[in-house]
């Protein structure tokens, strides 16, 4: 990564999620941002708009829009949001083939122009696309990470705070597993100022919050009708960029490559990760109930099904 100068962040995909992640990165003054997209004019226009927001927001970092991957050269972090969004009635696996081919092209260019970067994958189906990116990039696993758990945990924090009428700052949550209906919210690791919500809410309310968390993305898709969430996903991706570039060693739930952790091997799943300048510095293994372990294994099996689908399509 660059030292002694401003970091360079490549946001690949200048749609709603990519441009929102870029906005948050600029607002937090994490570095200069390169917005990259295949649509001519769109990344350039959004980058110009973001640059002109700088005097108002108080940042001086540069935003550059481009259709040329050469401009990501030297990026310390690449955030991949390129791909098709989920539409009403679509499952995440419906996106498999088209987004798989998009990710393949993106990774070929990252490997060529930003071979030392940390890669954060946001494109859905998230865990499957992480695995594909790892194989196409040829990077070590600690440098290819998926953004999911931070978003899912943020949604759960919101629902808990609303239910109890407390500040969201007092709520900590942990959501593991794949990014989808098989995610594994952990109520005993969800606390309000250190107090588990299982001591503050009856089981039926805890179960309702967990179920709403699992369906959080679909709830927004159903309301928007013509798109999917982007403010919270963009903020979550930027939070990961921050922990990496500032070497914060924050413990954050992210999609990471598992090589025996939690009894799972050669698969991506959401787990607690220590994020620093090397990417995933360490995966933390926490104690799970037999039911939660079973749910995590089921979640991983869904990811493996997606990986098998990529192989059948000849993408992997």
Q: Which residues are catalytic?
A: 179
**Nearest by Cα to 292 from 188, 181, 184, 153:** 184
Sequence-separated (6 or more) residues with CB below 8 Å from residue 171 = 157, 160, 161, 190, 191, 192
Sequence-separated (6 or more) residues with CB below 8 Å from residue 152 = 175, 179, 183, 185, 213, 216, 253, 270
Structure tokens at 50: 């973001």
Structure tokens at 256: 């990471």
CA distance 132 to 98: 13
Instruction: Please say whether the beta carbons of 25 and 236 come within 8 A.
Output: no
Sequence-separated (6 or more) residues with CB below 8 Å from residue 108 = 136
Rg of the Cα atoms in the chain: 19
CA distance 119 to 256: 11
Q: How many alpha carbons fall within 13 Å on the CB side of residue 245?
A: 30
CA distance 314 to 233: 30
Instruction: Please say whether the beta carbons of 93 and 309 come within 8 A.
Output: yes
Q: Is the peptide bond before 125 cis (omega within 30 degrees of 0)?
A: yes
């Amino acid at each position: 990564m660059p030292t002694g100068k401003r970091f360079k962040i490549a946001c690949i995909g200048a749609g709603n999620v990519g441009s929102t992640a870029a906005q948050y990165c600029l607002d937090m003054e994490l570095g200069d941002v390169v917005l990259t997209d295949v649509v001519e004019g769109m990344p350039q226009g959004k980058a110009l708009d973001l640059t002109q927001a700088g005097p108002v927001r108080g940042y001086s970092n540069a935003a550059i829009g481009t259709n040329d991957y050469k401009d990501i050269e030297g990026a310390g972090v690449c955030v991949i949001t390129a791909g098709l969004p989920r539409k009403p009635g679509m499952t995440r696996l419906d996106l498999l083939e088209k987004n798989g081919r998009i990710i393949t092209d993106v990774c070929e260019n990252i490997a060529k122009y930003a071979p030392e970067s940390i890669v954060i994958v946001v494109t859905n189906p998230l865990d499957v696309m992480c695995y594909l990116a790892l194989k196409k990039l040829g990077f070590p696993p600690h440098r290819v990470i998926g953004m999911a758990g931070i978003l899912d945990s943020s949604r759960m924090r919101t629902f808990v705070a609303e239910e109890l009428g407390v500040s969201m700052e007092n709520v900590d949550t942990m959501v593991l597993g794949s990014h989808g209906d098989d995610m594994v919210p952990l109520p005993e690791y969800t606390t309000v100022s250190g107090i588990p919500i299982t001591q503050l809410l009856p089981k039926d309310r805890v179960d309702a919050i967990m179920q709403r968390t699992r369906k959080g993305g679909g709830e927004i898709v159903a309301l928007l009708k013509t798109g999917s969430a982007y403010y919270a996903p963009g903020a979550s991706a930027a939070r990961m960029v921050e922990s990496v570039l500032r070497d914060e060693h924050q413990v954050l739930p992210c999609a990471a490559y598992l090589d025996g952790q939690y009894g799972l091997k050669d698969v991506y799943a959401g787990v607690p990760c220590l994020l620093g300048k090397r990417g995933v510095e360490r995966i933390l293994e926490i104690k799970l109930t037999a039911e939660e372990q079973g749910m995590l294994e089921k979640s991983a099996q869904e990811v493996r099904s997606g990986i098998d689908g990529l192989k059948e399509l000849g993408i992997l």
